[in-house]
Structure formats: C-alpha cells, structure tokens
Amino acid sequence: MFTFRKKSIETDSSNSKDILCDNNLSLLAHNEKCIVDKINNKISETNFVVENLISTINTISEYVEVQLGSIDKVVNEINTYSALAEEVSSSIESSKKLYTQTLQVSEDGSEAVNESIKAMRDIEGSVNYSKSVVNNLNNKAADINNMLDVIKDIADNTNLLALNASIEAARAGEAGRGFSVVATEVKNLAERSMESVSYISSTIQEINESIRNTILAMDKTMERVKRGSDIANNTLKVFKNITESVNTSNTVAEEIVTAVSMQTKSLENVIYSTDDMNNTSGKLMFVIEVASLNTQYAKTSLFSLSQVSEDLKIITNDFLKMLDLQNKEDIVLKTCLKVVPKTYDPALSFDFEIGNILSNLHAELLTIGNSGEISPGIAKNWYVEDDNRTWIFNLRKGAKFHNGKEVTAEDVKYCFERLLSPDLNSPNNWILEDIEGAVEFKNKRASSVSGIKVINKYCVSIKLSNPYSGFLLNLGQYFCAIMDRDELEKGNIVGCGAFTLEKKGEDYCTLAAFKDFFNGAPYIDKLEIKFNSQTSSQKLIDKEYDFMVIDNKEDMEKIKSVDYLTTSTSVIMGTYYIGFNLESNSIFASNKEVRKALNLAINKKRIVDELLGGMGEEARGPIPPGILDNSYLPLTAYNPQLAKELLRKNNADGKSINILYRDDSESLLFNKITTYIVENLNSVGISCNLVRVPPSEYLKPESIKKCDLCVSRWIADSGDADNFLQPIFNHANVANLSRYKNLEVIKKLEEAKKLINPNKKRTMYEEVQNMIIDDMPWISLYHPKTGVGYRKDVLGLRLNPVGLFSYDNIIAEKI
C-alpha cells in the first residue's frame, strides 16, 4: 500500500492551511513538478536526437552527391564497355570465318592422313609377303645344304673306295694297272666333287647371310612402317581434336556472340536504369534538402518548446512554492521480488529479477526503452565514423553520481575496463569483447583496452574489432553501468541511476529517489522491496504491496477478481529450459538419443496451460520468437511411448537421474516446474533424486556439478540474437550452465554478428539454432509472458521487452 512519512507541520485552522495539508493536492503538485522536469529533459533529449538527425541528413547528402558523381562515372564506363562489346562481337564474327577455314584444312589433313595410313598398311602387307618369300628361300638353301652334305658323304666314300681300289690295283700288279688309272680318276673326281661341295657350301652360307640381313632389314622396315602408322594414327587423332576444338570454339563463339548481344541489351537497360537512378538520386537530394529544412524547423520548434517548457517550469515552481511542498509526505511504494540479491555490483550480477533493482540504481551510456529501442543515456548523442567500427559518444555535461560528483569520460573508460578485467572475472565481460583490444586485456596481454579512448572530459571513443550492429544494445545493459571510479577503487558501488540504495538487509532493500537524476527525479520518493519466495498475491490483495510481478495462473486469477486491482501482460524475450549437465559421467550427458527421449517425455503444453494459465508459449527452440521467428520449427510432441522405446533401446530405462532443486517453498515457480518434470520422467521409468541447494547457490558451478539436470531460464538483455546466445552456449561463459561446447556453433555465431544483410544474418542464426537443437544441451520448455498486478491508482508500470521496470516512471495518482 502507499505509505507516507509525514514531515512535521504547524497546526493552523485557516482554510489555506487546510489546503496545504491536503495530501492529494500535494501529491498532484509533486507529480506535476516531476512531469514538467521530465518533459524538459525529454525536450533536451529530443533536441540531441534532432541534432544527430541533422548531422546524419547532412552526411547522407554528402554521400548522395558522391553517389551522383559515381553514377556519372558508371554511365561513362558502361558506354565505353558497350562500345568494346560491339568490337568484341565484330572480332568474334571474323574469328568464326577463320574457324571455318581451319575446319576445312583440318578435314583435308585428316583425309591425307587416312590415305597415308592406307599406304602404310599396303607397304606392311608387301614387306610381310617379301619376308615370307625370303624365309622360303632360306628354307630352300637349308635343303641344298642338306643335299651337299649327302654329296660330301658320297665324295668321301668315293675317295675311300678309290684309295682301296688303288691298293688293290697295286696288289694285282700289271694286271691291275688299268684299274689303278680308273681309281686315280675316280679319286680326282671325288676330290673335285669335294671342292665343288665346299665352294657351293660357302656360297650358300653367303646367301644365308644375305637372307638374314634381308630379314633384319625387313624387320626394321616393318618397325618403321608401324611407327609411321602410329604417327599417322596420332596425327589423325590430332586432326580430329582440332576439328572438335574448332567446332567447340565455333559453338562458344556463337554463344559469346549471343551473350555479348544480350549483354549489350542489358547494358542499354543498365544505362536506362542508371539514368533513372540518377534522376531518383536527384529527387532524393531534393527530399534530403526538404528533410534537412524540416529538421531545422523541428529544431526551431523544439527550441521554442524548450523555452515554453522553461517558462512552464518556472510557473510550476512558483505554484509549488505557494503550496509549500516542504510539508509533502514522502511517497513510498512497496513491492517484492522472489530472489535475494547475491551482489549489488552490476558487473557481477547475472540474475534477471535482480536486474530490476540494478537497472534503476545505475545508468549506462545508452538506455533501452520500453519498446526495446536505444535512447540517450549518459551519452546525449553518438555517431559512427567512416570505418563503421569507431563510435564517438558525447556525454551530458552535469550528469551526476549519487555522491554529487560529475560523470566524466574517464569514469566510462574505467568501468568498461573493470568489467573486462581478469581480476574481477565478471560473468558479463563477454558483452564488451567486441571492443578492439578487449580480449588481449582480458588475457593480461595488455595493460589497457586499446579500443577505448578518452577524447576529452565529455567524449569517449570506442573502436570495435569488427562492425557489429548489436553493440549499441549491449551498451544499454545494466551490467555496463557507469560508476564513480574513485569509489570503485575503495570498494564502494556508487552509480548515477534514478534511485540510490538507501538500505539493504537479508530480506529487503529500500530505494530512494535520486533528485539530481539527469533524466529528471522519479515521481515516487521511495520503493521498499521485499525478497520473498512465498506466494505474494495475497499481500497485494491485502494492500501490503502496491504492485508485483505475476508469473503464474493462480496469482493472475486471484488478482483479476479484486476490483481495486488490475493486471497487464507483456511478451518477454526469454526461455525457460531444462539444462543437461554435459560434463557429468552419466548416460544423460553422453547419449544424445537419451536426451531426446527425455525431451519427448516432458509435457510442455501441460506446464503452459495448467501451471502458467497460458502465460507462456511452448518453445520450438532456444531462441525466443521476439528475437528470431521460429515458426519454421516443429513443436516437439509429447510422446512418452516413443520416449520409453528410445530409453530401452539405449539401455537407459530404469536409470536414476539427479535434478537440482531450490530448497525453498514448493510454491516457487521453478519448483512447480520441477514437480511436473519429475512426474513426467517417473512415468517413462526414470527415477528422480532431488539435489536440494539454497536458491542463492543454485546457479553456481559447484551446484550444477552435483546434478544431471537443472531447471533455469535465460532472459534476453536486448533483441540481438548474438547477445542472447553467446552467454548460454559459449563454453567460455559461466552462464552456460550445461557446459555445452560446439566450436562450429561458436564459429557461426562469430560469422553472423559480422553480417550486415538482415536476411543472411537471420539465415545464419537459424542454422545455429538448428545445430543446438540437434545437439540437445537443453530441453526448451516455453517462452514466458510476464504480467504485473497493481493498484488502479498506480500508473506507469510498463515492462520493457526483457521484463524490466523503470521505477522512475511509476506514478502514484492519489493516496
């Protein structure tokens, strides 16, 4: 309920004093003052934006002028190229005639080679025939040799007989003298026969030698004929290849002629299009001039509005002085969170709910608005230089820390380097890794971050390693808060947000409005926050709280039934999931099919319908649809029978599983989800052991190591997919509870963040999501819808897309 701490006031019975004591009038006057201050600040912010817009329009104008010059050059180049294309076409026509002549020569050559091959074959036949004749002659000579051997034998025997006859004639004396003469003649005849045989044999040997030489010569002739035949065949192949090449070249030439002709027509179309582009650019230049003129009008109007606002502020202050708001009661609202902060240091916190406190205690260079857009924060304006990597941020002069010190560029540099420091070991340091030199600094290879430079007291330059469109959204996260560097060196946390941390205890904290907040003082003076894991809806109904976040069906239905309360809901970019401990030794870590079986065993629809009362939608994958449209993915149907079959197939049926459990009230949403999960797993034969730890210990690595499953959630800091995926699926980050490690996923994430084309970027993130789904480090349960219940006389309770409130926009309408 609203509580008011009364200032001491003097008792007065006059009507004017009665009016001054009217709390509702004082409240109304206070709200009016805050609204006027905020309007004045927003007008100043709008002026910053308009100045940025004017600068951007001027830059666009310069680029359009450059583009017009480039278009003229392109037209000239195209005209030159068109003339060249016509020359190429003419040259190709001449080449076609040459191809025809070459083709005729090739065909004539082929015919001549064919005739040569035929002649070679005739010669080969003739030589083979001659060789056979010579071989026959050789055989005849051999036969003669055989006959000579016979004659020689006869001559030898005749000589022997003549000798014997001479001997016998000698014995016969005078009577054998005539016979002796005959014997002598026979002997002489035999000797002459031997001489003739020897001469004939010598002659035959010479003939045989000539025959052998003739055969050798014929063999060599055959080899040469064969070689000539082979050469002729190869020559024929060459001519055939030439013919084919000429035909191919002719075909290609015809295609080139056709292509050049089409290209010439296309060039003509390009010229027409370029002319249109030139005309359009001229019109665009005119539009830019009009826009520039209108923006100047807007600036003039804003200046006038600013003057009116200043006048309104003076009149309002005079009016409030008349009301003497010194006697105004403090406006104190009460609410609750279901978790206890482990730290109030934004660089070390990564719990989503505690972000509601830290985002209001601290301010960043940029602010993420209620619709997720970037707005001025400590930086009043910013721009990127021509390299698309270097961002220049101009700070507001006069922005103060809670201790009254002015915020400077040195504080920005110090806080960013502190967030990246290996000594601090922040779980959120990944968010600034895109700054040039950040990784070297994190790994102690550099003493400072080279990409962060202080230009002057109110200007800081941040250079990225690569262009990254999501970087500005990262700077709007509460863990990039800017704090007083002098106090940080002493171990104190002093921010510059809309509220200060006035008190803190084990189960509560109190936020007090920072009256010098650069965006204007909050409407309420104090906000008391209870850390309560018990059901809180009844306390809202009993007016112990003025508003509260709703995350379950029962609370939503109870609050809706109360006439002085109301509710609103918003879709949140986040995912509730069951994470597997992939570093455990269990079958649930090592076997993907077993993890798939558990996915089929979980009835997600029952969780959404029965437990949440529709305050969520079944998850198709890990990335929320607000970041990446995942309607292309199928829903994983609840199928316990198939789950049992997969468990049995992989020898996992009947296994026991350890589930991390927050040792707190059973009514805590996470514990209710865990109860549903236990029921589903028991129904497919998996026995569940609850490993109980205090809620404050649940997300610590040593707790995760005790289990096979944990139930958690991840809420997006912004609408950037890389910002959502890197902390929970990059093994280097502590928020990756499953300890999932896939180098290909990291590689694709790095590629995607450098892409400029949104379609290619979306396709790459779809690929990443598909890879993660296939590996199944999670069972994605649902994407939440967050509600808020509040008193009807409390205004300004608007959740941004990541489920955080700006408490400085809450207005108490009346007592």
pLDDT tens digits, one per residue of 503-550: 999 899 999 999 999 988 898 999 999 997 565 788 999 999 999 988
Q: Are 787 and 569 in contact (CB under 8 A)?
A: yes
- Domain residues for the domain of 287 are 19-320
Q: What is the pLDDT of residue 536?
A: 74
Helix H or strand E segment including 248: helix 177-323
289 and 360, same domain (yes or no): no
Q: Using the predicted structure, report yes or no on whether residue 297 has a pLDDT greater than 60.
A: no
Query: How far does the chain reach from its first CA to its final CA, in angstroms?
Result: 9
Q: What is the pLDDT of residue 9?
A: 39
Q: Using the predicted structure, report yes or no on whether residue 11 has a pLDDT greater than 50.
A: no
Q: Using the predicted structure, report yes or no on whether residue 630 has a pLDDT greater than 90.
A: no
Q: Using the predicted structure, report yes or no on whether residue 19 has a pLDDT greater than 50.
A: no
Distances (CA, A) of 19 to 143, 320, 793: 160, 13, 22
Name the pLDDT band for 259 (thresholds 50, 70, 90): low
pLDDT in tens, 662-715: 987 665 789 999 999 999 999 999 999 999 999 888 989 999 999 999 999 998
489 and 415, same domain (yes or no): yes
Distances (CA, A) of 232 to 102, 105, 125, 239, 602: 20, 16, 17, 10, 80
**Of 199 and 768, the one with more pLDDT:** 768
290 and 348, same domain (yes or no): no
449 and 398, same domain (yes or no): yes
C-alpha 21/C-alpha 444 separation (Å) is 62
- 374 lies in a domain? yes
Question: Which CATH number is 149's domain given?
Answer: 1.10.287
Residue with tokens 């502590």: 734
- 526 lies in a domain? no
C-alpha 488/C-alpha 344 separation (Å) is 13
Count of structural domains within the chain? 3
Q: Are 161 and 186 in contact (CB under 8 A)?
A: yes
Q: Are 723 and 474 in contact (CB under 8 A)?
A: yes
Q: Are 443 and 422 in contact (CB under 8 A)?
A: yes
**What are φ and ψ of residue 273, in 5° steps?**
-65, -40
Q: Are 618 and 782 in contact (CB under 8 A)?
A: yes
Q: Using the predicted structure, report yes or no on whether residue 61 has a pLDDT greater than 70.
A: no
**Of 745 and 185, the one with more pLDDT:** 745
**What are φ and ψ of residue 318, in 5° steps?**
-60, -40
279 and 403, same domain (yes or no): no
Q: What is the pLDDT of residue 411?
A: 97
Q: What is the pLDDT of residue 188?
A: 72
Which of the residue ranges 9-23, 191-205, 249-263 would you say has the lowest mean pLDDT?
Answer: 9-23
Number of helices (H), then strands (E), in the chain: 19, 21
273 and 374, same domain (yes or no): no
Which tokens belong to 21? Answer: 């004591």
- 729 lies in a domain? yes
Q: Using the predicted structure, report yes or no on whether residue 754 has a pLDDT greater than 90.
A: no
**What are φ and ψ of residue 178, in 5° steps?**
-65, -40
Distances (CA, A) of 251 to 1, 190, 248: 89, 89, 5
Q: Which long-range CB contacts under 8 A does 222-227 form with residues at least 24 apart?
A: 222/124, 222/127, 222/128, 222/131, 225/120, 225/123, 225/124, 225/127, 226/124
For the chain, how long is the longest CA-to-CA vector?
A: 211
CA 639 vs. chain centroid, Å, equals 33
- 527 lies in a domain? no
Tell which residue, 496, 505, 511, has the closest CA to residue 531. Answer: 505
Contacts of 159 (CB under 8 A, 6+ apart): 187, 190, 191, 194
Q: Which of 320, 352, 374 is the last residue of a domain?
A: 320
Name the pLDDT band for 557 (thresholds 50, 70, 90): confident
Contacts of 173 (CB under 8 A, 6+ apart): none
Name the pLDDT band for 5 (thresholds 50, 70, 90): very low
- 460 lies in a domain? yes
Residues paired with residue 805 on neighbouring β-strands, in sequence order = 799
- 309 lies in a domain? yes
Q: What is the pTM of this model?
A: 0.60
Q: What is the pLDDT of residue 378?
A: 95
Helix H or strand E segment including 350: none
Q: Would you report the helix, strand and coil content of the chain in percent, each value rounded to 5?
A: 55, 15, 30
Q: Are 569 and 613 in contact (CB under 8 A)?
A: no
Q: Percent of the chain, pLDDT > 70?
A: 63
312 and 207, same domain (yes or no): yes
Q: Percent of the chain, pLDDT > 90?
A: 38
344 and 315, same domain (yes or no): no
Q: Which of 270, 290, 320 is the last residue of a domain?
A: 320
Which tokens belong to 523? Answer: 């409407």
- 242 lies in a domain? yes
126 and 248, same domain (yes or no): yes
312 and 349, same domain (yes or no): no
Q: What is the pLDDT of residue 14?
A: 47
117 and 258, same domain (yes or no): yes
Q: Are 807 and 522 in contact (CB under 8 A)?
A: yes
286 and 348, same domain (yes or no): no
What is the DSSP annotation of 496-523? Answer: -SSEEEEEE-SSEEEEEE-TT-TT---S
Question: Which CATH number is 745's domain given?
Answer: 3.10.105.10
Q: What is the pLDDT of residue 352?
A: 77
Q: What is the pLDDT of residue 432?
A: 93
Q: What is the pLDDT of residue 37?
A: 67
- 537 lies in a domain? no
Residue with tokens 């190229």: 81
